[in-house]
Amino acid sequence: MKASTTEKRVELGEYQVNYASEGSGPSMVMLHGGDKREDWSAWRPLMSLASHYSLTIPDLIGFGKSSRPVETPDHVAQARVVHELMERLAIGKGILVGTSWGGQVALELAIEWPETVEALVLISGTYDKAQIPRLGSVNRPTLIIWAEDDLVTQLKAGYLLRDAIRTARLEVLPPVAKNPRYDFTVAHKLETYRSDVILSIISDFLSAPWQKIAEPPEMEPELRGMAMQQGKSEEDKEK
């Protein structure tokens, strides 16, 4: 751990939340993924963001040194806890950065408390099907970063999120898992295996987020078809 990184714990209702903080500048809240081995330190490859931002990085409930209830709270409960943490730390508005399941938590927070979100950065972010029809209300500049060969959450999900949010920019990286020693999950861990390019993309986007949002290009026919088919399947399930 860097000497400038500090860890603290706070009581938030029934939970204890452990979080790390570093840096100064505009607030940035970073949410790790759903792998049980993850905690705030999953973001170490991107900690140089602390040069320009005040980073707050919690261990989500059920992870790291935060409370570990018998059942890990879902993304809705996690978003509520993150919101409470932001209130406790007097973060009135911040940039939310989420990877994998942390992206799903970030989306929920942006839907429920949009006034607390300056911008969103989603790195191979998952989503809940119930969130999709609600994402049109987010109206925050959103950067979505995906690897072309992500088999954990496939690229079609990135297009689906981009189109649902409407104020989003999708950056698709070329295949990541070219080394045969890597398994297919490598492409889902861009913050680790493509940290340099991720840092560059994030920094460029946040330099002028509203100006970086362009009219999205047309998707390839097969990708659009897959996204539409997925959306139709979800609608059929809800009927």
Domain ranges of the chain: 6-238
Judged against a pLDDT cut of 80, whether residue 216 lies above it is answered with: no
Cβ atoms 119, 207 nearer than 8 A: no
**pLDDT for the residue 2:** 46
pLDDT for residue 50 is more than 50: yes
Residues 214-230 as b/e (b if ≥16 CB within 10 A, e otherwise) read eeeeebeeebeebbeeb
Could you read off the pLDDT of 77-135 as tens digits, one per residue?
A: 999 999 999 999 999 999 999 999 999 999 999 999 999 999 999 999 999 999 999 99
Band (6; pLDDT cuts 50, 70, 90): very high
Position 238 scores a pLDDT of 56
Contact by Cβ (8 Å): 73, 108? no
pLDDT for residue 181: 75
Judge whether residue 70 has pLDDT over 50.
yes
pLDDT in tens, 72-93: 999 999 999 999 999 999 999 9
Was domain 6-238 assigned CATH 3.40.50.1820? yes
pLDDT range class, residue 227, cuts 50, 70, 90: low
Predicted model pTM = 0.88
| pLDDT given for residue 218 in this prediction | 47
Q: What is the pLDDT of residue 233?
A: 57
**Is the pLDDT confidence value at 219 over 50?**
no
Burial class for 99, CB neighbours closer than 10 Å (0-12, 13-18, 19+): buried
